[in-house]
Chain A
Amino acid sequence: MVNVRVKLPGLDLKNPIIPASGTAGFGEELANIYDLSLLGGIMIKATSVNPKRGNKTPRVAETYGGMLNSIGLENPGLDVVIKEKLPFLAKYDTCVIANICGDSIDEYVKVAYDISRIENVAALELNISCPNVHGGGIPFGADEDTVYEITKRVKDASIKPVYVKLSPNVTDIVKMAKAAERGGADGLSLINTLLGMRIDLKTGRPILYNKKGGFSGPAIKPVAIRMIYDVYEAVNIPIIGMGGIANVDDCIEFLMAGASALGIGTMNLVNPYICKELVEELPNALEKYGFKDINECIGYAHRK
């Protein structure tokens, strides 16, 4: 029997398959489709202190082999997440990773302090792609010093391990990864969406109301593989890999590039059964490529 269990800080995952933040809500919809206890973990929708309405519609658009979204981190706010959403997930035997966002470092700290103290939250995922309101709207994840500072402050506030979710919209993602590691990050998740845009040929206007949005799906996979490969070489903390995983061969490729666990994002929106299917298919796929233990596959490409 092939071992698929992986251990990361705070996360003892029965398998590496985790629906990525923003594509699984707070688990309620997926729970109608399959038993969430099948999953290694689940990354909940980004949570801010106050409820967020998100952007106006249209806020999704298809692209060649992918899609754009500008949902705008719509969420019911910290109180509702703590009182209603997280208790629902406590019924399932799966690791809950709480994705947190904010418009200021203080807001991140507040969410991190409170949410990390909820028993069934295993770890935090820091979404640093949000615009920094106090820093002139530049995303937190686009500046090394800010990545270091926000990681450090959130680490100080949190009693659970912290994974920093890196944005690919930077000149050198390795610098950001190292800054997060210096700030005390327990792990990294990458990549978030690439900034993209589409124009409606009939009207000449951008399709998304918000004009620009996050580009995701199978089309971005080579970018994710390259960034995971580079970051794996440069840091000593584990990586949760994501960015266009669409089938079990993609899972193997991400593991070989250096991911220790796998976030499945856009494909949940195409096939809501995908995570369950990947959990079922992964042992055979590992065996097919000659691995008896998933841990042999993690970073395999770096030993070749």
Chain B
Amino acid sequence: MVKENLKVVYNKKIALDTFEMKLETIDMASFAKPGMFINISLKDASKLLKRPISICQIDGNNLIITYKINGEGTKQMATYECGTYLEAIGPLGNGFTLVQNKKALVVGGGIGVPPLLELSRKLKELGNELIIILAFRNKESMIYLEEFKSLGQVVVTTDDGSYGFMGNAIEYLNNNEIKFDTLYSCGPEILLKKLEEKYAGCEGYLSYEARMACGVGLCHGCVKGEKHYCVCTDGPVFKLGVIYGEC
């Protein structure tokens, strides 16, 4: 982990309420792995806590993050222009465990999709065959469809049926049996919980989200699971079964 002032290279809208921000780092990007996150300060000092945002893409010494407007903080973030400097610490948390030469099922839900992009690239480089399910609320919220299509077989689901399969990722998986060796997922808690139940005993790595303060294990604000794991330092990626399973 390092603390740096990151320079906004660009900050653009890519879907409904969804923005992509490219940040130039000094050394931070060189430590980044798929599934890790950064904790980023807002320019408004009254908003004290840094915002934890997952790394979507690692591009040389740049990091690309993708965020959805969900409150005052992210609303302000969407106004930051090219050349703005933002204090950040990172990369934080553990990344995804990467398998090789396997059949991987990648399931993303909503704003949980971005960290799966860098993951999928790395998985493909390691000789894995990818089946990718991307679940969105509607057509307007879809992100990175073309990028994922170049990496594997992609299925899109939308809650309102405006694109692809009508329903959510779990409904799709219940209707379509998919054989795989390893599961990867990031998305809403309910999606991850249902995946843990449906695929209990399988190899899988799931990235969880939590209301967080420090991001570095100091405050124990973001705990999850029976054993009160810190999502920030023990996660955000947990082995399937750790948070909602028996083991």
Contacts and interface: CB of A to CB of B under 8 A. Distances in A.
Interface of A: 22-25, 29-30, 32-33, 53-54, 57-62, 64-67, 69, 71, 74, 217-218, 266, 268-273
A73 to B, nearest CB: 10
Tell which of B41, B218, B224 has the most Cβ of chain A within 10 Å. B218
Interface of B: 1, 3, 41, 45-50, 87, 89, 210-214, 216-224, 228, 233
Nearest to B221: A60
Nearest to A217: B48
B219 A62 contact: no
A33 B224 contact: no
Given A33-B1, A74-B228, A270-B48, A60 B218 contact: no
B41 to A, nearest CB: 8
B223 A57 contact: yes
Contacts of B220: 25, 54, 71, 74
B233 A29 contact: yes
A65 B211 CA distance: 17
B3 A273 contact: yes
Contacts, number: 80
A68 to B, nearest CB: 10
Interface of A is mostly: loop
A121 B221 CA distance: 26
21 contacts: A23-B214, A23-B219, A32-B1, A53-B228, A54-B228, A57-B224, A60-B222, A61-B211, A62-B47, A65-B48, A71-B219, A268-B214, A269-B213, A269-B218, A269-B219, A270-B41, A270-B214, A271-B3, A271-B89, A272-B89, A272-B216
A58 B49 CA distance: 15
A268 B214 CA distance: 8
Contacts of A266: 48
Nearest to B227: A53
B213 A69 contact: yes
A58 B219 contact: no
B228 A65 contact: no
Given A29-B233, A71-B220, 13 more contacts: A22-B219, A53-B228, A57-B221, A58-B211, A60-B213, A66-B48, A69-B213, A74-B223, A218-B45, A268-B218, A270-B214, A271-B87, A271-B89
